[in-house]
Structure 1
């Protein structure tokens, strides 16, 4: 028999490079997959939380818009009421007012012009005497339709007849500023309309 003598030490076979590389890639793949799975779970929880917050904010926004709509509606209503009140204050039933101004004139007094703008009324009136001017101003102050009377100017002019046979009559041209009382005028207008119906 032959003896088998091996003088070389016994060596294990080297693992092939392919197997080591495969194991390393497998480990990297497992770590990468685990990392992706953890990130996915974290992001999924964040998305769910964000969706819940979004829905809560949408509901809160709708509630706030409703509240703002109510407040704005009230503010618009208030502004509209103020605008209506203001414009009503600017309007005066002029026929009633002019009739009252004419009725209070003395027998030889004449209303020559009338101007109404922004609650102020300007009139030009002609009188024969200064006493007539004073009496007319007193009458206007007594009127329920006039809140304030101011004389702006008084000018003298002469009114001549058609022929020179008549005596020259001096007259007074008076400019007055009046502040009408729109509430009293509207009350009078309503009472007149109530009588007509």
Structure 2
């Protein structure tokens, strides 16, 4: 038999280094696992919040769609009426407005105007009744209008005080508010103001 002779001294391996490496790797793995779990639960919470917000937005969308549908059904008649009105009133209004304002005497104020298929209704404020008569005669002589009708004349005093009924203030001159309807000469208007 061969004798077992080992002349190399026995050196034990250092087990401390490998244990430290395994502990360090397990700590890193636990940190990564806890990070993934934190992100997972955070994402689940965000998903539930977003689902609740989505449900809320869907109910708002449905409500707005129902509002649009009801408003379209309500406004359908008025839209058709507006279209019919625009089709019947197909004349230029700028020359009419220029003529109405150009014939006004000084210190008068055009308060309101309304266009109808064959006429224009205006409301004008004047200082005196003679200004009213002058303006109506100017409109009657205008080529843009065939006839002018005074519907109403009302006094509106400036600076009227409350509680002074029956007391006449001679320092204040009342203004005359006049409602006039003018029939449009459509042939003159369509030819561009030339006869």
TM-score by length of 2: 0.47
TM-score by length of 1: 0.46
Bigger CA radius of gyration: 1
Instruction: Point out the structure with the larger helix share.
Output: 1
